[in-house]
Structure 1
């Protein structure tokens, strides 16, 4: 079984190398040509050195004088061969390096583009650290054997030429070569088979260590506030200890085989000298031929190792390639259509849900999916504000994701201005709809860059207008460098409410025709939140003409909506105005009143911004999410 697995690794590894050659044939040809030139010059050098020793050095010793002309000719020949070897080395290394780094860059881009094409459900099933490892260390591992590959191909040409030269020189010396070279190959094959499982395990553990590290860093606030430093340290230490042991196992195997691979050519050289001395005494060969063959064995020791390097790296290459291929072959992308909404249309958009059903895909294929929405039908009329209200798990955030097409409905349709969102182009959808999510994300950049995002037509004037609408212009103006202030990683220098207002300003700067707020002002003071929503409905010429779908909890926010949709267990239970639902739907009245009472009690207790909602989502300890209030 182990032998079959090793042969399979060799076969798959060679197929990966074949793919690399097919993708970069010209560069590979340049690198191999350089390697072949080097190999031919190595063989030529052996015979030139033999000729120098046999025809110049030995006669000079016999005569007690040196022929200057012969010595100059020998020096010129050696110098010329050295120059050609340098040219070969330069071509080989430049071509191999260019090919390797070009493949790595190309596949990092392919993996990243694939990440962008794959739906949100796929990303939710894969840890961020693993995805980072796929795009970085796995791509690097997949193409790592490319560096020695042209050298190895040139070495094969050199070995064939060397064996032919040995037979031309003397059959006995050729038999020594035929014994040494297969032994080298056999040793390399055994080495590759033993190394394969070790390299695969080490590559897998690299990804796991990356995943744990990313998760711990991302959830640093939760780890610190919950006192989980020791547990997280122990979790990371356990996996890094396994990676250390795996790499030590790889090192031990290399420590065992490397001396053998180094010694075998030296033993071959010794055997050549012994056999050659006998053949020289018999008169079968000359001193020139003996020196040439001995020198050839000496210089062949290093190039032959190139074949071993390729074979040794194949297991790691296969492991990396299979992890990369898993991403490239992943299914479930969300292709866009070819319908474009008029980008110059100043009117607010109309959002429609018609008999929408949705279930999240399971983490494992054999498990059933989690049904979230069923028979959801409603409309957000142009220019109107609709509030989604419901307990945790009712499907509010899923509806927000469907509205901006982060996910697609299993059945039913979601439309913008009567057009199925699946038929819209990516640019049209992004230019029409903007989502402000529950957890604000701020880039480690300036305030200006975070809001403008290099979008055309958004200058400082538009940035300040969006900040004013998001009630963020005051605190931005008070920052040390205003719009040029660096906000730190994930906006670390800002409060939760300030981050939420920046992300709201980012969405408003693009003047969307539909704005989806998924509890996007939960960390903002209620008075500021009311001012923001009132500003969006003011009808001011500087305010984008937009329809609003808002996931709301506070009574003041809900009261501003033209219509409220009340959800329970993924279904629309009731719809109407806020006063109508308070009077006719007990579950709605209990939910809104409970939060209002809890908020009032928090304010009386001096809490900054009120207590957590009684139905606040449970946040996993390692999720990296945090709930903050405005400073």
Structure 2
């Protein structure tokens, strides 16, 4: 636990870095906003001086001798109008360019975060709730940039205080002393507030992520919730998560309720003290009524800017907490494929040596050795939990290898460029994800031509049902493809995988929802249409029979490799495929 001094130091260091990141990214916008803020300062001080002069030369003169110089009146009116226009224009410039800087910073950071989400290894997403990641990309980034909104004005307040104190000093040292006590006291109160609110703000932000996670899971699992009658339980989960968020926000709200009125009241107390002291000075002839009006106007001018400065200090902890949450995600190590070698043309042979993968301190794959010839079709078979999907994902580069080497076309996968890798290797899963877009966009992803996308649909045995859809190729399939059946989703996802004509295709039970006849047609089409090496995680005897060789995997180890007929001599393999065959018959 950090003490309060360390908390304040941490907040200012992190807040300073946050601000500098935005300043470096958008210097012109911030500079223009700062010019507008400085112009506002001098226009405000100038207006106060003009008002003081008008009081002495026009108002007081009228009371004393009943005569008013018309030129003084017109000059004062013109000066006040011009200054008001300058103040209004400076406010527009400051707000416009600060808003652009804030929103562009949000855009830049959000792009970087989403890019990072796509760069981190698969284990990152499997260990973090989707709702929390959504909260980082939305609410946290919005809050992180909130401190930029009053930035230029808050910085100009420092100049405003200096010029105002100098003006008060010119009027009378006692008034300057009064301002020198009130203004720093306001800053100190804001500092105390920020140090106390940082930890509760951090907890509240965490609770927002918790609520988002519960909501996301409830929406995504709506079918399971309804079929199992879990509606009340899910409502209770949301109630508990919302209650925790409510409690943390109430805690922060109580602090605001105590400190904000005090911060708001302090400048007004200063004005009252100023009037008492100033009236005494005027009665003693040490100041004019215009000086008193000038001093009161300066205090009044400072009340709002100092409140904005207080708002800046109030937002700092929330922004720092939000940025810390985002930065912790950004610190996750991204996959860094820095190779530059290209893969040979044609189907790619695969060589795996001593491959081991550890997940959650458990060895999922152990010293796997595998040789796959270019153009060969391999079926990976094994009981549940044997490591079949892990092997496929490790070969596809989605999982980090604990040890071992994987080579494609006699090139180490670590040496292959990212562009060549994505063009050469494709993977389709049992759980098919489709975007809430047209079939055309789901297959082509904006990369391949329409003709290639349609050809991929034909190979995946999907063209017939796609043509029968309401809008055919341009039919929008809904979020996650919910308007399609399971088998249709799998075939569209498979078409997407093969549209770029990969040279190594990995199918992780990607045709499980398709009947055996269609599956056979798909696999025959893949081998006929593509120059590809095909590795299939198989749970059907019909799929196994289509493979050139079978890899039998159990407990993360390769137990045997050979043809289906050869492996039938093993009792464990025989029992497994017999169970598959019986399941197919049912």
TM-score (norm 1): 0.89
Report Cα offsets for 1:75-104 as digits up to 9, x if no partner.
110011112212321232123222222222
Q: Distance in 1 between matches of 2:291 and 2:127?
A: 67
Counterpart in the other structure of 2:157? 155
Q: Distance in 2 between matches of 1:139 and 1:558?
A: 49
Matched, 1:425 2:411: no
Distance 1:399 1:393, change over 3 A: same
The counterpart of 2:567, out of the listed 578, 581, 587, is 581
Matched, 1:484 2:474: yes
How do 1:132-171 residues align onto structure 2 when only pairs under 5 Å count?
132-171=134-173
Matched, 1:391 2:358: no
Q: Distance in 1 between matches of 2:453 and 2:322?
A: 44
Please state how far the C-alpha of 1:468 moved relative to its aligned partner.
Answer: 1.6
Please state how far the C-alpha of 1:403 moved relative to its aligned partner.
Answer: 2.2
Q: Distance in 2 between matches of 1:34 and 1:43?
A: 14
How do 1:468-547 residues align onto structure 2 when only pairs under 5 Å count?
468-537=458-527, 539=528, 543-547=529-533
Please state how far the C-alpha of 1:159 moved relative to its aligned partner.
Answer: 0.3
Please state how far the C-alpha of 1:476 moved relative to its aligned partner.
Answer: 0.8
How do 1:296-307 residues align onto structure 2 when only pairs under 5 Å count?
296-307=298-309
Please state how far the C-alpha of 1:63 moved relative to its aligned partner.
Answer: 4.6
Moved more, 469-478 or 127-136: 127-136
SS in 1 for 2:561: strand
Please state how far the C-alpha of 1:588 moved relative to its aligned partner.
Answer: 0.8
Q: Distance in 2 between matches of 1:389 and 1:21?
A: 56
Matched, 1:550 2:536: yes
Q: Distance in 1 between matches of 2:337 and 2:499?
A: 27
Number of matched pairs: 584
The counterpart of 1:381, out of the listed 354, 370, 373, is 373
SS in 2 for 1:388: strand
Distance 1:69 1:332, change over 3 A: closer
Report Cα offsets for 1:307-327 as digits up to 9, x if no partner.
111111111112111111112
Please state how far the C-alpha of 1:570 moved relative to its aligned partner.
Answer: 0.9
8 Å CA contact 1:373–1:569 kept in 2: the answer is: yes
Q: Distance in 1 between matches of 2:336 and 2:177?
A: 63
Counterpart in the other structure of 2:8? 7
SS in 1 for 2:327: helix
Q: Distance in 1 between matches of 2:256 and 2:46?
A: 32
Please state how far the C-alpha of 1:20 moved relative to its aligned partner.
Answer: 3.5
Q: Distance in 2 between matches of 1:16 and 1:402?
A: 37
Please state how far the C-alpha of 1:62 moved relative to its aligned partner.
Answer: 4.0
The counterpart of 2:396, out of the listed 387, 392, 404, is 404
8 Å CA contact 2:116–2:334 kept in 1: the answer is: no
Q: Distance in 1 between matches of 2:440 and 2:17?
A: 49
Matched, 1:590 2:575: yes
Q: Distance in 1 between matches of 2:220 and 2:500?
A: 29
SS in 2 for 1:355: strand
Q: Distance in 1 between matches of 2:51 and 2:562?
A: 97
How do 1:547-626 residues align onto structure 2 when only pairs under 5 Å count?
547-582=533-568, 584-601=569-586
SS in 1 for 2:94: helix
SS in 2 for 1:4: helix
Please state how far the C-alpha of 1:274 moved relative to its aligned partner.
Answer: 1.2
Distance 1:356 1:3, change over 3 A: closer
How do 1:281-300 residues align onto structure 2 when only pairs under 5 Å count?
281-300=283-302
How do 1:14-413 residues align onto structure 2 when only pairs under 5 Å count?
14-64=16-66, 66-331=68-333, 333-342=335-344, 345=345, 347-360=346-359, 362=360, 369-413=361-405
Please state how far the C-alpha of 1:23 moved relative to its aligned partner.
Answer: 4.2
Q: Distance in 2 between matches of 1:15 and 1:359?
A: 37
8 Å CA contact 1:515–1:549 kept in 2: the answer is: yes
8 Å CA contact 1:9–1:314 kept in 2: the answer is: no
Counterpart in the other structure of 1:454? 446
Moved more, 545-554 or 27-36: 27-36
8 Å CA contact 1:380–1:548 kept in 2: the answer is: no
Report Cα offsets for 1:510-554 as digits up to 9, x if no partner.
1111211100011111221122122223x3xxx122121000011
TM-score (norm 2): 0.96
8 Å CA contact 1:31–1:95 kept in 2: the answer is: yes
Q: Which consecutive residues of structure 1, in runs of 5 or more, have no partner in the other structure? A: 363-368, 602-631
Report Cα offsets for 1:35-59 as digits up to 9, x if no partner.
1211121111111111112211222
Q: Distance in 1 between matches of 2:80 and 2:313?
A: 33
Moved over 6 A (4+): none
8 Å CA contact 2:377–2:534 kept in 1: the answer is: yes
8 Å CA contact 1:359–1:373 kept in 2: the answer is: yes
Moved more, 260-269 or 276-285: 260-269
Distance 1:103 1:352, change over 3 A: same
8 Å CA contact 1:149–1:306 kept in 2: the answer is: no
Q: Distance in 1 between matches of 2:199 and 2:79?
A: 48
Distance 1:33 1:419, change over 3 A: same
SS in 1 for 2:325: helix
- Bigger proportion of residues as helix: 2
Distance 1:15 1:446, change over 3 A: closer
Please state how far the C-alpha of 1:454 moved relative to its aligned partner.
Answer: 0.7
Q: Distance in 1 between matches of 2:19 and 2:445?
A: 40
Q: Distance in 2 between matches of 1:535 and 1:471?
A: 9
SS in 2 for 1:454: coil
SS in 2 for 1:387: strand
Report Cα offsets for 1:123-144 as digits up to 9, x if no partner.
2222222222222222222221
